[in-house]
A and B are shown apart, each in its own frame.
Chain A
């Protein structure tokens, strides 16, 4: 058969359908759907233990999920070709590979496997990021170790860059530098980036899209700018509590009977009807507040 039906996401740098996973019966991923467009920068956020690392590992085929499927450049993540692997760079939270080498030896070694290895970038970044090139990787602190791995990942000039909590290892200056690299590469080389973080302001700077992993599901998976304009906190005094919309991303009842809800604009950009009632208040939310409201 020549005509093959393809869905839109089949060649997306990264995509997943209905990913499910659990640890000892506790669901971590509860039906995650995801597709990253080329050149997009997806910031993944979620509480500690929300399953961000599990999701990343499942997306890259480093973990076999209990259900669903992940694809990288259209190939099943669990059976990636070498060609596809060469286009990816992944920095885990705790890199462990090649720990018997020094940073310099590791760079010299792995550089040979990447056709677009940028040795100049390695040279320039080593001292700026305070990496000691001649100590054994195993002897480095976890932060130093992750910095080495970040340099390795960036120097390979990948088409898909996946970073698990990269901010933890960097001081504010180096962190800003990393964000700059990510932003400029996404814009110029069309690098697709997925990074998880706790630091919401980092995400707001460089992410084009955000996804909030909460209770095994991806909430608020949309463009960063839209998030700030689409969602808001609706506060209703006790006497209006009965008029609260039935659908809300979060709902909190206060001691005086008043209600705080996280609401979303409808397809016509309108807030729920209750927002127009006298005494009701709609407050714009920064991303950080939005996450706190939903995660609490």
Chain B
């Protein structure tokens, strides 16, 4: 993976370290990053995007805790080979909480009934 694959938008409300974790999650989920793929070093990401290396370390650490990445001796961070989805499902859901709260609020402001929103959401989720 190349550092340029990440997009950093400092002025978003979402902190940069979360932006990185969320993008890694999506890139892995979407298959653009395969198990075992090496990640760019903290230095490469920090240098390419001109962001603080501690922010990148924090993102990688969080992704590692979550089971998205693993540290491999001699290779640095790689995409985790086996992601135990069940074990981490509640953690992963917790990371969606801000977006869900936002969605709920917007739905409330639009005075949309819950079942209509849920039906649409289910469709988007491919159920």
Contact = CB atoms under 8 A, between A and B. Distances in A.
A101 interface: no
Contacts of A187: 42-43, 46, 52-54
Contacts of B58: 225
Task: Classify the secondary structure of B's interface with A.
Answer: helix
A66 B76 CA distance: 51
A183 B8 CA distance: 15
B46 A183 contact: yes
B43 A184 contact: yes
Name, among B11, B17, B51, B52, the residue most crowded by chain A CB atoms within 10 Å (CB to CB).
Answer: B52
Nearest to B12: A286
A204 B11 CA distance: 7
A279 to B, nearest CB: 11
B126 interface: no
Contacts of B15: 224-225, 228-229
Contacts of B43: 184, 187-188
Task: Classify the secondary structure of A's interface with B.
Answer: helix
A179 B50 CA distance: 6
A202 B16 CA distance: 12
Contact of A186 (B8, B14, B52, B98): B52
A284 interface: yes
Interface residues of B, number: 24
Interface stretch (A55-63, A155-163, A205-213): A205-213
Nearest to B57: A187
Given A188-B43, A225-B55, A281-B105, A183 B12 contact: no
B106 to A, nearest CB: 11
B49 interface: yes
Interface in B22-52: 42-43, 46-47, 49-52
A201 interface: yes
A13 to B, nearest CB: 16
Interface string B94-117: 000010000001000000000000
Contacts of B49: 205
Given A180-B47, A187-B46, A228 B14 contact: yes
B74 interface: no
A230 to B, nearest CB: 11
Nearest to B13: A284
Contact of A184 (B12, B16, B47, B105): B47
A188 to B, nearest CB: 7
A201 to B, nearest CB: 4
25 contacts: A180-B47, A183-B47, A183-B50, A183-B52, A186-B52, A186-B54, A187-B43, A187-B52, A187-B54, A188-B53, A204-B10, A204-B16, A205-B16, A205-B50, A207-B52, A225-B15, A225-B16, A225-B18, A228-B13, A228-B15, A284-B13, A284-B98, A285-B13, A286-B13, A288-B11
